[in-house]
């Protein structure tokens, strides 16, 4: 059977899209190939002409999801909303409940750390690209910490905040956790880092013992 030009690429794209959502919603380990292919409207046998293994699919789906989040961050940057806009664009109720369309870091970090080195390197590359864009919001802030390092700290705080908010059952508490994360991230973004004070030597005692 002959297919139209571009059919193979569109099929591959569909598999990646379905896998990316399922991995973020259910976890990579819990998402079987049979379920992914069924949701994509394909048979199991259609998988291997596109991917050598599930590990390869995980890597490509992860990279794709990271790229999508990066694109969204750059789009937010163009609105001129600044660092607060970037932070609130991440820590909000929509992202809290929308894990399958959200940040793969918040959804999959424990699993990413157990992936093959090639997958972790792909994640690292996308992570650094995202953080570099986030750091562009920090150039106006004075401080001794390089913008990229501070941006990495802010992103790490946001990811952890979102993970904790998703872990609790009380909706009101989850929203409080998100807002607390926003406040903490903004403090980190605006803080001027000062040198750590060293312990001064004990002053010499005067003759009167004071």
Cα–Cα nearest to 153, from 126, 186, 117, 121 = 186
48 three-class SS:
coil
Residue 198 in this model has a pLDDT that exceeds 60: no
Q: Give me the CATH topology for the region 55-190.
A: Tetracycline Repressor; domain 2 (1.10.357)
The band of 147, judged by pLDDT with boundaries at 50, 70 and 90, is: confident
**What predicted TM-score, i.e. pTM, was given to this entire model?**
0.83
Alpha helix segments (H runs only) across 27-139: 33-39, 54-78, 82-90, 93-97, 104-112, 117-135
The band of 75, judged by pLDDT with boundaries at 50, 70 and 90, is: confident
Structure tokens at 44: 């199991």
- Summarize the confidence of residues 134-139 as an average pLDDT: 82
Instruction: Parse the chain into domains and list their residue ranges.
Output: 55-190
In angstroms, rounded to a whole number, what is the distance separating the alpha carbons of residues 203 and 189? 38
| Beta-carbon count within 10 A of 57 CB | 23
Q: Measured between alpha carbons, how far apart are the two ends of the chain, in Å?
A: 98
């Amino acid at each position: 059977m002959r297919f139209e030009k571009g059919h193979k690429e569109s099929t591959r794209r569909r598999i990646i899209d379905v896998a990316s959502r399922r991995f973020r919603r259910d976890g990579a380990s819990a998402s079987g190939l049979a379920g992914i292919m069924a949701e994509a409207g394909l048979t199991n046998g259609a998988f291997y002409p596109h991917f050598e293994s599930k590990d390869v699919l995980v890597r490509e789906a992860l990279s794709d999801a990271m790229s999508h989040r990066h694109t969204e961050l750059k789009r937010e940057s163009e609105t001129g909303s600044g660092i607060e806009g970037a932070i609130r664009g991440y820590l909000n109720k929509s992202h809290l409940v929308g894990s399958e369309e959200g940040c793969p870091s918040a959804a999959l970090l424990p699993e990413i750390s157990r992936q093959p080195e090639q997958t972790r390197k792909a994640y690292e590359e996308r992570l650094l690209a995202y953080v570099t864009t986030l750091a562009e919001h920090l150039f106006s802030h004075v401080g001794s910490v390089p913008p990229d390092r501070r941006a990495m700290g802010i992103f790490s705080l946001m990811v952890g905040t979102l993970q904790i908010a998703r872990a609790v059952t009380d909706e009101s508490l989850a929203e409080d956790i998100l807002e607390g994360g926003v406040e903490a991230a903004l403090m980190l973004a605006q803080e001027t880092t000062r040198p750590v004070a060293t312990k001064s030597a004990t002053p010499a005692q005067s003759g009167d013992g004071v």
